[in-house]
Amino acid sequence: MSRETLSLSAPSDEQVYMYVSALEGGHPSLAFCLRHSKSDKRVVFDLGIRRDIKEFAPAATERFLPTVKQTVAESLKAGGLGVQPSSVDVVVLSHLDLNHVGDPSLFTTAEFVLGEGSKKALADLGSCPNPTAFTSVRVPEDRLRSITTLDLNVVIGPYPCAMDIFGDGSIWILLGVDSAHHPDLITGAMQIAYRVDPNTCSVTCVHEDKEAAEENIRRMRSLLEVPRAQVLISHDIYWCQEKKNKDVFLPYIIPPLIVQ
C-alpha cells in the first residue's frame, strides 16, 4: 500500500479530535484516557490490571504475577482533573486478557464497547484458545455494546475494517486485538514466537490466528511511514521507559507530531 494512500486528511477549522493521555495500568500495561474536543466526553481505552488480580485469575498468576503500582482507576483520580471512574462515558476493552480488563465495576455509568469475540468469551470462557489468560471479571451487560462486522464498515488507511465510534471522525476502532506484545514486532526486529509440534506439525502460538496477527502487525508497521501518525501499543516498554516522569500521563496529553 502506498504512502499516498495512507496519508491523513488535512486539518480543518471544524475538525473534531481527541486529547489523548496515557494512564498507568500496572506493569507491563498501558491504558489511555481520551477527551472529545467538542463534547468533552471521556473515553478510556483498556483498564489495565487490577490490584487483586490473583483472586480473579489464579491459574494465570501462577506463572505471571504483574506489578501494579497504580491501577487505571487510581491513575484517573491522580490526574487531578476531577476525572472519576464513575464520570467516564465510554470504556473500550480491546480484549479480555487479565492485563487489559481491570476492574469494570468502578465505571458505574460508562458504556462498555467490546468486539464479538470478547462477547463470546464472556458467555463461555472455555471456548477461548487460552482461557487461563482471562479473569472471572464481568462487564455490565445492560451497558454493553458489542461491535459486529456490520459496524466495521469503513476503510481507514491500511485497515479494511474500522468503526467511527462517535460518527464524527474523532476516534476510530480498528480490528486489531493485541497483535503486538512488543514494539520490536512492529519494526520487524522481532517475529511472533511459535512452536511446531514435530509429530502433528500443528502450530502453537500466543495468537489464535498467527497469520491474521502478522497481517495486522504489517498494517501497524505501514503507519510508521505516515506523517503525523503515532503508533502506541499497550505493552510498549520502550515508550514507557522513554516517557517515564514525562508530561504524557494524565493530566497532561500526548503531544501530536509536528510535520515540518
The residue to which cell 486528511 is assigned: 9
- pLDDT, position 116: 80
In this structure, the number of other CB atoms found within 10 A of the CB of residue 259 comes to: 7
Spans of the chain, pLDDT less than 50: 1-5
Burial (CB < 10 A; 0-12, 13-18, 19+), residue 144, is middle
At position 199, the amino acid (one-letter code) is: N
Burial (CB < 10 A; 0-12, 13-18, 19+), residue 189, is exposed
- CA separation for the pair 234, 182 (Å, rounded): 9
Dihedral sign, CA of 244, 239, 35, 140?
negative
Name the grid cell of 108.
Answer: 458505574
Q: 180: which DSSP letter? A: -
Longest pairwise C-alpha distance within the chain: 62
- pLDDT, position 96: 81
CB 104 within 8 A of CB 139: yes
- Whether the model clears a pTM of 0.75, i.e. scores above it, the answer is yes
DSSP sequence for 109-168: SPEEEEEHHHHHHHH-GGGSS-GGGB-S----GGGEEEE-TTT--EEETTEEEEEESSSS
- pLDDT, position 4: 40
- CA separation for the pair 217, 27 (Å, rounded): 22
- pLDDT, position 125: 65
Name the grid cell of 32.
Answer: 489511555
- pLDDT, position 118: 79
The residue to which cell 514486532 is assigned: 185
CA distances from 20 to 79, 85, 110, 129, 179 (A): 13, 16, 18, 33, 21
